[in-house]
């Protein structure tokens, strides 16, 4: 991927997480950090509206990631990180808005996204196009959210302070 195209093409700019996907090392991690940087905006919204924004970003991501992957001629180019951004939003939206939960969410989401345990690996291997690019990260985000939400409910509320 030529870096200048990301700066000239709006769709590539978005798919590459505002340029973070151009990182030579760990573009997915940098893309996740870009998504994390937008969390304060989502937390400022009423929960229903924040969740609607995440749902719309997900549906938009099916198209966006598919389009950019097709233009690049690579099924799931490592620089496409819109999926990581949506995944971290899904991970954190229901959790307390504290740095401790953000750190736990970031680490758990990245572990699930990198290792791709079942059923994440099943989606990663068997679903193509933009839908496939997005779904494994969305599932990683939902699993991370569920695990962290269970921790929160299991009286790990001290992390919220």
Beta strand spans in the chain (E) = none
Distance separating alpha carbons of residues 9 and 41, to the nearest angstrom: 25
- The first and second tokens of residue 114, run together, are 């990198």
pLDDT of the residue at 153: 86
Domain count, the chain: 1
All residue ranges of the chain with pLDDT < 70 are 1-2, 4, 156-161
Distance CA 140, CA 154 (A): 21
Q: What is the pLDDT of residue 157?
A: 58
**Cα separation, 110 vs 99, whole angstroms:** 16
Domain that holds residue 140: 3-18+26-160
- Which residue in the block uniquely carries the two structure tokens 């966006």? 64
- Look at residue 76 in the predicted model and tell me its pLDDT: 86
pLDDT at 154: 85
The predicted structure's pLDDT at residue 2:
59
H or E stretch including 114?
helix 99-115
Quick one: pLDDT at residue 1? 52
């Amino acid at each position: 991927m030529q870096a200048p195209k990301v700066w000239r093409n709006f769709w590539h700019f978005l798919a590459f997480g505002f340029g973070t996907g151009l990182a030579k090392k760990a573009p997915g991690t940098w893309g996740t950090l870009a998504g994390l940087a937008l969390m304060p905006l989502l937390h400022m919204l009423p929960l229903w509206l924040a969740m609607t924004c995440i749902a719309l970003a997900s549906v938009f991501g099916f198209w966006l990631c598919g389009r950019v992957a097709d233009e690049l001629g690579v099924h799931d180019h490592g620089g496409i990180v819109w999926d990581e951004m949506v995944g971290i939003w899904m991970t954190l939206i229901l959790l307390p808005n504290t740095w401790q939960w953000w750190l736990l969410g970031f680490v758990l989401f990245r572990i699930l996204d990198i290792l791709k345990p079942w059923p994440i690996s099943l989606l990663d291997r068997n679903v193509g196009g933009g839908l496939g690019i997005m779904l494994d990260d969305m599932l990683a985000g939902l699993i991370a959210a569920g695990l962290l939400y269970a921790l929160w409910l299991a009286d790990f509320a001290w992390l919220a302070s």
